Amino acid sequence: MKKNGFTMLELLIGLVVAMLCMIMMLMTFKQISKVSLESSLDAEYDTQVQLGMLVLQKVIQNAGYGSGNAADILVANNTLYLRFTPDLATPTVIKCQALTFENDVTNKEYKLFLLENTVNCGTTTSLNSIAWTNLNTTKSPLITIKNKEISATTPPIFSFSVQSLTSPQKCTPYGISNSNPSGTKTVTVTAQGQHINEKQIQSLICLNNI
């Protein structure tokens, strides 16, 4: 008469099969968690970039107010310089600003700083020759974006270029007609995707005051 139960070999085989199933489940869970985390970080990155674009549009629109000279905006060494009159009631008071970045490798953050100077700023001063009196990157950045892939040599997330408006173009701010924009200068702000092979985001800003 055959006894009920399992042999030692059957128990070992069952144990191995159970372990393989558990390993596969753990690997699947790990992969799902990784994809979920990466999707969350990518969404956060994209949101920060879009908010940064809105902030930069507002800042750059100041360029030229008060003098309207083409030299009131300049791009040099990955830095955007601009000059304007903060209060049109006192046109002799000129403010100069610079948008410059830092890659914080320790905290894995890209930081964009808005530097200001009224001491060495004049209507005819070359913007990239100003000795910035508050060149201190320990101050609060204008924009901070987390980027797990950042290094000391990572290109800036935001880059700028200034062009002359040679033909009607569609650009911000809203309310400027694309067939008849005012001003003769435009600024293109380019935002790099989180991964190097991702498509870049661009925003064309018309300077209706230059």
pLDDT surpasses 80 at 184:
no
Flag whether pLDDT at 134 surpasses 70.
Answer: no
Task: Report the 3 state secondary structure along the chain.
Answer: CCCCCCCHHHHHHHHHHHHHHHHHHHHHHHHHHHHHHHHHHHHHHHHHHHHHHHHHHHHHCCCCCCCCCHHHEEEECCEEEEEECCCCCCCCCCEEEEEEEEEECCCCEEEEEEEEECCCCCCCCCHHHCCCCCCCCCCCCCEEEECCCCCCCCCCCEEEEEEECCCCCCCECCCCCCCCCCCCEEEEEEECCCCCCCCCEEEEEEECCC
Q: Where are the domains of the chain?
A: 35-207
Mean residue pLDDT across the chain: 81
For residue 14, pLDDT over 70 is answered with yes
pLDDT digits (tens, 9 = 90+) for 85-107: 888 788 788 889 999 999 999 99
pTM: 0.76
Rounded distance between C-alpha atoms, residue 48 and residue 92, angstroms: 36
* Cis bond before residue 173 (omega within 30° of 0): yes
Q: Which of 7-11, 60-64, 70-74, 185-189 has the lowest mean pLDDT?
A: 7-11
Task: Yes or no: say if 187 and 160 are a contact pair by the CB < 8 Å rule.
Answer: yes
- Under 8 Å CB-to-CB from 31, ≥6 apart: which residues? none
> Between 32 and 157, whose confidence is greater?
157
Mean pLDDT of 156-174: 76
Per-residue pLDDT of 39-98, as tens digits, reads 777 788 888 888 899 899 889 988 888 777 888 999 998 899 999 888 878 878 888 999
When pLDDT is averaged across residues 13-34 and rounded to a whole number, the result is 84
Residue 146 has pLDDT above 90, yes or no: no
Task: Find the mean pLDDT for residues 14-28.
Answer: 86
Q: For residue 55, is it left (φ>0), alpha (ψ between -120 and 50) or beta? A: alpha
How crowded is residue 199: how many other Cβ atoms within 10 Å of its Cβ?
7
How many percent of the chain have pLDDT more than 90?
16
Among 40, 49, 38, 36, smallest CA distance to 145 is for 49
pLDDT for residue 196: 59
